[in-house]
Copies of this chain bind each other. A is one copy, B any other.
Amino acid sequence: MLSFLYTGLMNAPRTARERARAELTKEILTSARRQLGDVGAPGLSLRSVARDLGMASSAVYRYFASRDELLTALLVESYGEIGDAAIAGDLPDAAPEERWLSVWRAVRAWCLANRHEYALLFGTPVPGYAAPHLTTEIAARMPLTLARIVADAKRSVGLRPYTGPVCDPAAIEPAMLDLLADGDFTVEETARLILAWNRLVAVIGYELHGHLKNVTADDALFFEYTARAEGANLGLAFD
User: Using a CB–CB distance below 8 Å, which chain A residues touch chain B?
Assistant: 40-42, 119, 122-126, 129, 132, 136, 163-168, 170-176, 191-192, 194-195, 198-199, 201-203, 205-206, 209-218, 221-222, 224-226, 228-229, 232-233, 238-239
Residues of A contacting B: mostly: helix
Contact status of A222 and B167, CB under 8 A, knowing A202-B198, A214-B173: yes
Q: How far is the CB of A220 from chain B (nearest CB, A)?
A: 8
How many Å lie between the Cα of A193 and that of B192 in the bound state? 18
Complex Cα spacing A222 to B232, Å: 20
Contact B164 A215, beta carbon cutoff 8 Å: no
Number of copies: 2
Contacts A217-B171, A217-B173; A210 near B125 (Cβ below 8 A):
yes
Q: Are B123 and A226 in contact (CB under 8 A)?
A: no
- Assess whether A222 is in contact with B172, with CB atoms less than 8 Å apart: yes
Residue of B nearest to A136 (CB): B214
When the two chains form their complex, are residues B202 and A239 in contact, meaning their CB atoms are under 8 A apart? no
A236–chain B nearest beta-carbon distance, Å: 10
